[in-house]
Structure formats: structure tokens, C-alpha cells
Amino acid sequence: MILPIIIYGKSILNNSILRKKCVNISNSFPKLNLLISNMFDTMYNVKGIGLAAPQIGKNIKLFIVDMLYVLKHNQLSYSNYNNYKKVFINAKIIKSFGKTVVFKEGCLSIPNIIELVKRKSHILIRYYDEYWNIHTEILNGLQARIVQHEYDHIDGKLFIDRLSTFKKKNIYKKLFI
């Protein structure tokens, strides 16, 4: 089932959920598998590569990624990116490291805005998958960038928070006026 995506700037209520730090969930969270399935349906419907629970109005530490769309539409064929489809529950970035890399980012909750964002090239992350197996992994490149973007959502942050004051002011004018 396709769920509505919360758009930043449309109402104070919507902005509030996107700005809250999310809470951990347990393996008894009701209908979690259905929620995850619906999140993938929603993300695919808008041709996204990641979606976090706050973007659909849930204040929980859950996000999903699937790089297939970006690979297919950008003709990338990095073998380590193929089939990079994951569910992240109660994720915690333990460490960000490596070079600072600038790359274009957009967001399903902030449509039609694409900006250059600085992020570290590598992260060490710990999370549960949809089967409640715990993972600790080092991610790099595009995987690290996408996961950092989605992780920001469960921490109450948006990619526009990482921009200069000047760029933020211009974006806020577009979003709120």
C-alpha cells in the first residue's frame, strides 16, 4: 500500500514530525513487516532510493534503502552496489570518517530541491534488519551517503540543515512563502 509522504514546509504539524528524534522499537512492534512492505511500495512509487519512518508520519527508528533505482537510471554497475536493498531498525552511526565528499542530494519530503551536501565518505553503523539480526558494518561511497541521509531523518534532521545559511534562507523562502 502506498502511504502519503510528509512534505516539509506545508504545515507546522508536518514540520514537527520531521524534526523529532525518533524512538527505538522492539521486535513486538505491531505489524512491522506490513509497515516495511508499505514503505518499499511508497518509495518505489515515487522512484526514491531511501525512505525513513518520519517521512510517513511514524516517530520510530526505521528506514529503508534500495539503490536499484539510482543504479538503473544512472547506468552505474558497481558490483558492490548491486542489490543493495536493506532495512535499518534502531540504527546507530558509531563513527563517520574518511574524506569529506560533496555530492548532490534531494529528498522525498522536500521535492524539487537539489543541493550539494558535504558528508564523510565512510561510516561505521550498527542496526537490526527486518529479521532482528544485528549488524555492524562499514559503509562507503554512495551507500554511506544514502544511509547518512536517511539516518539524519531519524535524528530529526534534514539535508538542508547541512547547507550554508545563505542557501538555507533561499530554500526556506521557496518552502514557506
Supply the pLDDT for residue 73.
58
What secondary structure letter does DSSP report for 53? Answer: G
Q: Say which residue the cell 505489524 belongs to.
A: 31
CB neighbourhood size of 92 (10 A): 14
> Is residue 86 one of the residues assigned to a domain?
yes
Instruction: Based on the residue annotation, tell me whether 130 is a catalytic residue of this protein.
Output: no
| pLDDT tens for each residue of 6-44 | 998 766 555 789 999 999 999 999 999 999 999 999 999
Q: What is the mean pLDDT of each run of 10 residues along the chain (177 residues)?
A: 89 75 97 98 94 97 88 54 84 98 95 94 98 97 95 97 90 75
Q: Name 15's Cβ contacts closer than 8 Å, sequence gap at least 6.
A: 8, 9
Q: Quote the domain boundaries for residue 73.
A: 12-176
CATH, residue 152: 3.90.45.10
> Is residue 6 one of the residues assigned to a domain?
no
CB neighbourhood size of 49 (10 A): 23
The whole-angstrom distance between residue 177's C-alpha and the CA centroid of its chain comes to 26
pTM of structure: 0.91
Supply the pLDDT for residue 172.
80
Catalytic position from the list 115, 130, 137, 150: 150
What whole-number distance in Å separates Cα of residue 120 and Cα of residue 132? 28
> Is residue 7 one of the residues assigned to a domain?
no
pLDDT over 70 percentage in the chain: 88
> Is residue 123 one of the residues assigned to a domain?
yes
Q: Provide the domain count of the chain.
A: 1
